[in-house]
Chains A and B, each alone.
Chain A
């Protein structure tokens, strides 16, 4: 019994053309026993920074609250909203603080970053459970179905996808990966972040 696989769950984030997507399953389990099919692991931190927290479910809640607290303090002090890259470093240092007694979570960050010229640039990143940042150009995955997600995403993803195509790509990647993972699934949720709006869609998937 591994702590990282006790509750199950997977998250993936992908870059598109002027947009990003982040998606996760909805299962909460206790080993093989399913407890809830409405356990969300993706949380909006600002209007254009989202974080996915797959791993030990108690730490999903604890870390979400921790990030919310630190973000509020940041927003008050800086009098502005946090940028995705800054938030990724906040995640990283929060996790590394507990280097020798870690939170059992592998966060995935997706957002739209302000460039000096004022445009919004897609940003995705993931860290391991002690906060080692992995900033990728294409996609990042985490959770109990991570190997499956890698395989499908590597096959389906292509550069410069428009929001609707990106949605289709990330949805298909997630759905087909979690269907081969006993610890993930039980429904899914996808967020697509674009310049002017955030689209949230709950997916119907296999419930076994």
Chain B
């Protein structure tokens, strides 16, 4: 070549991933589950939108929160929803929660060498009526837990949850062991406190908050009475029910 470009090797690289910030969180109760996420979507110091949902209703008993690279997250949710629809057509019922969890593992691991760059938290009601949270890493390792935070402010929120949900570092009073599950009103308060705290100290968290509440079949709406801006999303009123609560978070 006349310009001598052979003697000067050049390298080009395309990075197919990005980090869009935000935080998600889920807490399981005895007969309900709360799954929440903020709605800010950012890249670096720029806010792309103040309302990009990260939490999605999959069925009347399952809600999925996705955090990390938003493009991958949206695509992943789309594919999970498609698989759940196929399941409905084949079996004439909704897929059970633990089966959705395993499905998500399989779908994530299928992309083991070009992963979806997302952390998933699946929340909902098991077939036995108990509240459940499943958390995943980007390649599909998963675990059922009572609570989990993920995303930009995971390091801020998770130790707070350890303290308030698992009662870590708190000695129980004699003959009064710590409760295994908290009532819904307490859980909602902890979720809101977690997000206002994260909003205060983390630049990638804020704008709006979406709290999904899944109630087990037959459970009363105790804990939801008087809650502002709540909306029911369930398709039937005699099964497990899904609600969403929308709140504002600070926008700075």
Tell me the complex Cα distance, A127–B61, Å: 49
Comparing A11-19, A31-39, A171-179, A189-197, the segment that makes contact with chain B is A171-179
Interface secondary structure of B, over-half rule: helix
Asked whether A121 is an interface residue with its Cβ less than 8 Å from the other chain, the reply is: no
Of B163, B168, B169, B200, the most chain A CB neighbours within 10 A belong to B169
A68 at the interface (CB under 8 A from B): no
State which size class the interface on A falls in.
10 to 19
- Determine the distance from Cα of A172 to Cα of B193 in the docked complex, in whole angstroms: 16
Residue B162, interface by CB 8 Å: yes
Instruction: Provide the bound-state CA to CA distance between A151 and B155, in Å.
Output: 7
Q: Is B55 an interface residue (CB 8 A)?
A: no
Decide: B169 and A172 in contact? CB cutoff 8 A: yes
Q: Are B169 and A179 in contact (CB under 8 A)?
A: yes
Residue contact A152 to B160, C-beta cutoff 8 Å: yes
- Complex Cα distance, B153 from A180, in Å, reads 13
Please indicate the chain A residues that have their CB under 8 angstroms from the CB of B163 in the complex. Answer: 152, 156, 172, 176
Which B residues from 161 to 191 make CB contacts under 8 A with A?
A: 162-164, 168-170
Distance in angstroms between the alpha carbons of A176 and B156 in the assembled complex: 11
Q: Is there an interface contact between B169 and A147, defined as CB atoms closer than 8 Å?
A: no
CB of A148 closer than 8 Å to a CB of B: yes
Q: Is A135's beta carbon under 8 Å from chain B?
A: no
Complex interface residues of chain A between 105 and 138 (CB less than 8 A to chain B) = none
CB pair A154 B197 closer than 8 Å = yes
Measured between beta carbons, the chain A residues less than 8 angstroms from B169 are 172, 175-176, 179, 205
For window 145-161 of chain B, which residues contact chain A by CB distance below 8 Å?
A: 153, 155-160
Which residues of B are found within 8 Å of A179, using beta-carbon distances? 159, 162, 168-169
For window 148-166 of A, CB contacts with B under 8 Å fall at: 148, 150-152, 154-156
Whether B162 lies near A147 (C-beta < 8 A) is no
- Taking a contact as CB atoms under 8 Å apart, the answer to whether A176 and B201 are in contact is no
Closest to B166 in A: A176
Contacts of A172 in B (CB 8 A): 163, 169-170
Kindly state whether residue B242 has any CB partner on chain A within 8 Å: no
CA distance A44 to B113 in the complex (A): 54
Distance A150 CA – B152 CA, assembled complex (angstroms): 13
Residues A151 and B201 in contact in the complex (CB < 8 Å), given A172-B169, A176-B169: yes
Asked if B132 is at the interface (CB within 8 A of a chain A CB), the reply is: no
In the docked arrangement, what's the CA distance between A40 and B159, Å? 23
Provide the residues of chain A in CB contact with B160, threshold 8 Å: 151-152, 155-156, 176
Q: B194 within 8 Å of A by Cβ?
A: yes
B65 within 8 A of A: no
Which of B153, B159, B169, B198 is most buried by chain A, counting CB atoms within 10 A of its CB?
Answer: B159
Whether A151 and B198, one on each chain, are in contact in the complex, defined by CB atoms closer than 8 angstroms, is: yes
Complex Cα distance, B196 from A155, in Å, reads 8
Which of chain A's residues has its CB closest to B170's CB?
A: A172
Contact status of A150 and B159, CB under 8 A, knowing A172-B170, A175-B169, A205-B169: no
Min CB–CB distance A141 → chain B (angstroms)? 10
| Known contacts A177-B159, A205-B169; 4 further A-B pairs (Cβ under 8 A) | A148-B155, A155-B193, A155-B197, A176-B162
